[in-house]
Structure 1
């Protein structure tokens, strides 16, 4: 099997169909290099201040720079990209509500070792979700080119149907090589891992993940983005961040919609 690629002219439905069948898909050059230039400029001050991982799972030579909604207006544009977000919504359409669950830049320094192959769904206590029920959809935007030498993320094509606890070797995986401005979308069920960076360049990816609305967020969006900034954001982005009540959960105070309370700019819990 090969790594799946589609053109940036593909529809959200076509992308979602490929995701369901193969567990992953690369949308080639979905945004221009100039968009990535702006993101690098906005986030550059934070890269050098980000510590390296303190455990092997996080990578001893990998930096993970988060809070991207607060720090980068251009990342907000990536999140709301119509084609990209449309494919995510299509794959998670069985859920009443979806949410943004993580935003971070993963920077693999030269010498970074290959990450172990894993499923992102393992975050949820390794719960054996049904094979046909998607809980988590992740994406890696290429802030730099992705080459095998630079440590391109590796996927095991078709492994999204293998279930929890399946065993795959490094040789079972393929490097996802793509140009800057491209994005890899992949199911939370597929086995994957970062490659080893044998080059002299840092490999950077913008990790943006989504989940069904009833599981806990990986990155706490309410604390990652100061409320002063949150109040300036459009409603559709705030809704993705989790500020909109849905069904029987997400309310605050006296059963108030949290998005409406945010717009009122007061503390409804203390209001008499």
Structure 2
């Protein structure tokens, strides 16, 4: 069987990201994967609504998705996606956030934002994070498709302020990402975008996985949210994405040991005794 990346032109997709700020992978999920996603997610739906306008008062979010089933782990480690991300994030980059988003009827549009604004890097610096949004239901302009501003990943703070002050503001630049179920799009955290409003009578289901440079702090603290017995059963690639690897030369160490050692059953970090200072 051919490798999933054999016919995937990661460089062409990377070029689209550099030029317009996003790229679409049309066949990111198969029909079987979509069905498995729905089946595995179903037990977690129905118990959460957004706590603020950004999360969405009519939106269900299921966080720490990577730990809730093999299908979600496989999505986080999808070979074509990781090949594409490796064009921008060097070395052992990390999974930063992973959750399902069920946009219910009546949900309003988010405010326009970026996904890595919490990293205090100037916009002229390379993006610290990258996001993937996958459509479990087809995205339409009516059901809340993510809306992006093409090219805005190249804008400076002054560019944003200028366009915000123009008639129609930033909103006039928004373009809905209308994609079929099973497709996904990838974009740098600097791209301006928002979740759209769902004006239909049906929910719109999606997921997002976000990644960051190996030296950056992820949004979700997977060391606390994913029990080690679950991590031990994951693939080595997933373990690396969750932080069980070093960023050269020693970032992420556990008491001067490799973090993967902490997954060994019964492992206790060495305690180095120090003589009292006088």
Both structures adopt the same fold (TM-score exceeding 0.5) = yes
2:148/2:175 contact within 8 Å kept: yes
Counterpart in the other structure of 1:34: 32
Equivalent residue number for residue 124 of structure 2: 130
How far the C-alpha of 1:39 sits from its partner, in A, is 1.1
Query: For the aligned residues, what is the CA RMSD?
Result: 1.9
Q: Is the 8 A contact 2:104 2:198 kept in 1?
A: yes
Q: Residue 271 of structure 1: CA displacement?
A: 9.5
In structure 2, the residue matched to 1:57 is 54
**Partners of 2:45 and 2:74 in 1: how far apart?**
20
Match of 1:4 in 2: none
Q: How far 1:171 moved relative to its partner?
A: 2.0
Q: Does 1:145 align with 2:135?
A: no
Mark the structure with the bigger radius of gyration: 2
Q: Which runs of 5+ in 2 are unaligned?
A: 1-5, 274-278
Distance in 2, matches of 1:256 and 1:108, equals 43
- 1:163–1:189 CA contact under 8 A, matched in 2: no
- 1:120 matched to which residue of 2? 115
- 2:261, 2:267 within 8 Å by CA — same for their partners in 1? no
- Equivalent residue in structure 2 for 1:46, among 41, 44, 47: 44
How many residue pairs align between the two structures? 259
1:147: Cα distance to partner? 0.8
SS in structure 1 opposite 2:34? Answer: helix
Q: Which of residues 154, 163, 177 is equivalent to 2:156?
A: 163
Moved >4 Å (runs of 4+): 269-272
Aligned to 2:213: 212
Partner of 2:3: none
Mapped to 2, the partners of 1:180 and 1:270 lie a distance apart of 51
Q: Indicate the SS of the match to 1:123.
A: coil
Q: Secondary structure at the match of 2:24?
A: strand
Q: Please say if 1:100 is aligned against 2:106.
A: no
Q: CA deviation at 1:25?
A: 1.0
Q: Does 1:80 align with 2:77?
A: yes
Bigger drift between 106-115 and 22-31 goes to: 22-31
Q: CA deviation at 1:270?
A: 5.9
Partner of 2:276 in structure 1?
Answer: none
For 2:110 and 2:137, the matched residues in 1 are separated by 19
Three-state SS of the structure 1 residue aligned to 2:116 is helix
Matches of 2:57 and 2:29, distance apart in 1: 30
* Other structure's SS at 2:178 match: coil
Q: For the residues of structure 1 that align with 2:197 and 2:243, how far apart are their CA atoms?
A: 35
Change (3 A) 1:150 1:270: same
TM superposition shift of 1:111: 0.5
Counterpart selection for 2:252 from 236, 241, 250: 250
Structure 1 length-normalised TM: 0.89
Q: Normalized against structure 2, the TM-score is what? A: 0.88
